[in-house]
Structure 1
Amino acid sequence: MATSAAEGDASAQYRLGSDLMDQGRHEEAKRYLLPLAEAGHLEAVRRLAWTASGLAHTDPAHEAEAEHWLRREAEVRRDPDWLVTMAQEMRRWASGRVAEAEELVAGMARAGSARAAGQLGYWRRLDGDLTAAVEWYRLAVTLGHRFAWRDLGSCLWALGRYAEAEELYRPQAEGGDVVAQYELAALLHAQGKGPAVSPPGPPRL
């Protein structure tokens, strides 16, 4: 494999670099992975990004490298929403870049990213701020997030905003979504408007 790598075989270079990374020989690994990553080799970019990000969880000295390669991964994927993944990692890094991560994602949401809006809803829900979570989840739904309506409905229900939750669930239920059908029936039962229901079982094969 080393011979093939030396002859310019990209697959061999990646395998050799990855093996060296697994052995903790990071600087040697980079001799093979860096040229590939700079040329747009996705797996090489990912290996550099996630190795650096893992190290950044305990050592802030690796944060700049992790951010560089995570941004590069978004470019290679041609997926700007991948920066939400970077923001998730930033919140875990040793220096605790929570505010910076949330500012990044909020900017993406305001620019039209449904995934970013949904992520902010999730973070606010974790914080216990359901009112703020509702606003972000509602934006995610408006922007076309496929599943944010479920989280939005749960938050509205928890806040006692039953009419809004029912209005959200009903079209999904009438469209055949079994989760929405259950949530709507359970919501009505909680208000004394219908019988008790059981959660939907696994789909039939």
Structure 2
Amino acid sequence: MAEHGTGPGAPSGGGALDARLAAVEGSQDPRDWNELGCDLSDAGRLGEAEACFRRAVALGASWVEFNLGNTLRDLGRTEEARGAYERAVAAGEDDALLNLGLLHRDEGRVEQARAVLETAVAAGEPAAHVPLGDLDHDDGDDEGAELHYRAGLQAGDPAGAGALGVLLAERGRDGQAEPLLRAAAPHDPEARAALGTLLRRTGRLAEAQQVLEAGVGAGERQSCLPLGNLLWDEHGDLAGAEAAYRRAVAAGDDFGHHNLGLLLWETGRREEAAEQFRLGAAAGDAMAAAALAELVDGRGG
């Protein structure tokens, strides 16, 4: 059973939740504890949600291990979350397979992730196709990735359109990619950034800029670097490019340090540029590391 709340109209304000916590104390019905746990989780009261889910499990509702796992994951206690998901799966809660697979993936256990996600697909979970495709893509198997993305799309997973569109655009199949990216862009930041890049590559600069500016305006860091590159390369707008690169860095895009460093170097702010290269290199960006080495070796200009 998937995580859920008590439905529309259920009282969920802070005072109402406090009253429900007091009222539920004597209940031996695990559904009461689970429903309250879901509403507490929705309200960001994760510690109390955890306690409610544990109470439901103790009362025999082993499927609530899934909701407990989600809460432990959100609390950053991933090892405990993994255990809860595994217990949920053992209890027949197939919905936990997807989240267990994603947890394995996020922690670098690629083979375990693949095995669990394949089991999720076999159990009828359409959303497992896209992460399986991502694993294939990371392994350099674009054909396998495309098969999974198409399967997810055909099964009704809304993430399938964006994933497939991004892959097709990367492979130069722009005619097939564009309608998928347009369909996915309003809800998929990766697809919006890929659409902007495709439009620029095919000479539609004004629309590309409009698409990327919409992404940046929506707080999507994926659009920041492509917008900065477009403004700098196509329009010579250094101030606009710098602002876009700084937004990328502020949003956690470590590759932004390299682009920002190049612009700062170009505009004579070499100490600031060196610092950006250092930050990018420390984050693992090989291009930033190469730029820093060039600077240190005295070949920077």
TM-score by length of 1: 0.56
Instruction: Work out whether residues 85 and 97 of structure 2, in 8 Å CA contact, stay in contact via their aligned partners in 1.
Output: no
1:149 to 2:172 alignment = no
Structure 1 unaligned residues grouped into runs of 5+ = 16-21
| Deviation at residue 156 of structure 1 after TM alignment | 1.0
Instruction: Work out whether residues 49 and 70 of structure 1, in 8 Å CA contact, stay in contact via their aligned partners in 2.
Output: no
| Deviation at residue 169 of structure 1 after TM alignment | 4.5
Instruction: Work out whether residues 66 and 85 of structure 2, in 8 Å CA contact, stay in contact via their aligned partners in 1.
Output: no
Distance 1:136 1:190 in 2: 27
| Deviation at residue 83 of structure 1 after TM alignment | 1.5
**Which SS does the other structure have where 2:157 is aligned?**
coil
Q: Which residue of 1 aligns with 2:88?
A: 69
Distance 1:178 1:41 in 2: 31
Give the alignment partner of residue 56 of structure 1, picking from 71, 79, 82: 79
Q: CA 1:190 to 1:110, structure 2 compared with 1: closer, same or farther past 3 Å?
A: farther
**Which SS does the other structure have where 2:172 is aligned?**
coil
Give the number of aligned pairs.
177
Instruction: Work out whether residues 186 and 196 of structure 1, in 8 Å CA contact, stay in contact via their aligned partners in 2.
Output: no
Q: What residue identity is the alignment partner of 2:68?
A: R
| Deviation at residue 123 of structure 1 after TM alignment | 3.0
Counterparts of residues 1-205 of structure 1 (less than 5 Å): 32=55, 34-36=57-59, 38-39=60-61, 42=64, 46-47=67-68, 51=72, 54=77, 56=79, 66-69=85-88, 72=91, 75=93, 80-91=94-105, 98-109=110-121, 112-127=124-139, 129-166=141-178, 168-169=180-181, 172=183, 186-192=197-203, 194-197=204-207, 198-200=209-211, 201=214, 202=217
Distance 1:195 1:164 in 2: 20
Instruction: Work out whether residues 118 and 136 of structure 1, in 8 Å CA contact, stay in contact via their aligned partners in 2.
Output: yes
Q: What residue identity is the alignment partner of 2:201?
A: A
Q: CA 1:124 to 1:45, structure 2 compared with 1: closer, same or farther past 3 Å?
A: closer
Q: Which has more radius of gyration? A: 2
Q: What residue identity is the alignment partner of 1:88?
A: L
Distance 1:178 1:65 in 2: 30
Instruction: Work out whether residues 126 and 156 of structure 2, in 8 Å CA contact, stay in contact via their aligned partners in 1.
Output: yes
| Deviation at residue 137 of structure 1 after TM alignment | 1.1
Q: What residue identity is the alignment partner of 1:35?
A: A
Instruction: Work out whether residues 87 and 102 of structure 1, in 8 Å CA contact, stay in contact via their aligned partners in 2.
Output: yes
Instruction: Work out whether residues 81 and 116 of structure 1, in 8 Å CA contact, stay in contact via their aligned partners in 2.
Output: no
The root-mean-square deviation of aligned C-alpha atoms, in Å, is 4.9
Instruction: Work out whether residues 33 and 48 of structure 1, in 8 Å CA contact, stay in contact via their aligned partners in 2.
Output: no
Structure 2 unaligned residues grouped into runs of 5+ = 1-20, 38-46, 219-301
| Deviation at residue 117 of structure 1 after TM alignment | 0.6
Distance 1:139 1:157 in 2: 18
| Deviation at residue 136 of structure 1 after TM alignment | 1.3
Q: Which protein, 1 or 2, shows the higher relative CO under an 8 Å CA cutoff with sep ≥ 6? A: 1
- 1:66-98, CA deviations, whole angstroms, 9 ceiling, x for partnerless residues? 5113555x73xxxx44410011223467xx753
**Which SS does the other structure have where 2:135 is aligned?**
helix
| Deviation at residue 133 of structure 1 after TM alignment | 2.3
Distance 1:178 1:85 in 2: 21
Instruction: Work out whether residues 132 and 148 of structure 2, in 8 Å CA contact, stay in contact via their aligned partners in 1.
Output: yes
**Which SS does the other structure have where 1:160 is aligned?**
coil
Instruction: Work out whether residues 46 and 69 of structure 1, in 8 Å CA contact, stay in contact via their aligned partners in 2.
Output: no
Q: Which residue of 2 aligns with 1:18?
A: none
Distance 1:149 1:189 in 2: 20
Distance 1:150 1:49 in 2: 25
| Deviation at residue 120 of structure 1 after TM alignment | 1.2
Q: What residue identity is the alignment partner of 1:190?
A: R
Distance 1:91 1:49 in 2: 15
